[in-house]
Amino acid sequence: MTRRRSKQFIKNDIAFRLSRIAKLLEAGWIKSANEVPDNSIPVDPEQINISNSYHRPICYVDQSFNCQDCGSDELWKAEDQYWYYETIGAYYFSEAIRCRICRKIEVARKNEARKIAGHD
């Protein structure tokens, strides 16, 4: 039986964290476990999609940003980045630019545009 890990659980799961740090060390992305801050989620070098980039992210940390459409202050949590990059498999260099509400509006707008263009 497999149990779905909650996102909060991931951040506090020591074994999960240590296995990721071991992979980062093995892959040569870090030289010491101390490089990964305590309040972050280490990346899995085998899961993250960085294509051919030489920039190697080592962990996810909470990031603040302003929504591109409405300007609201937003927090993109480490857990959500982990989910976006490793569960959905998004390219690492694509980042959150819109708040939840504006994202929904944008998705609806794109769907509508696709319908009008006859691609559905």
Q: Applying CB under 5 A, which residues contact Zn ion? A: 67, 69-70, 99, 102
Indicate the residue among 69 and 80 with the shorter CB distance to Zn ion.
Answer: 69
Comparing CA positions, the residue from 73, 75, 18 lying closest to residue 41 is 18
Indicate the residue among 25 and 102 with the shorter CB distance to Zn ion.
Answer: 102
Indicate the residue among 21 and 76 with the shorter CB distance to Zn ion.
Answer: 76
Give least dist CB 75 to Zn ion, A.
13
Give least dist CB 98 to Zn ion, A.
5
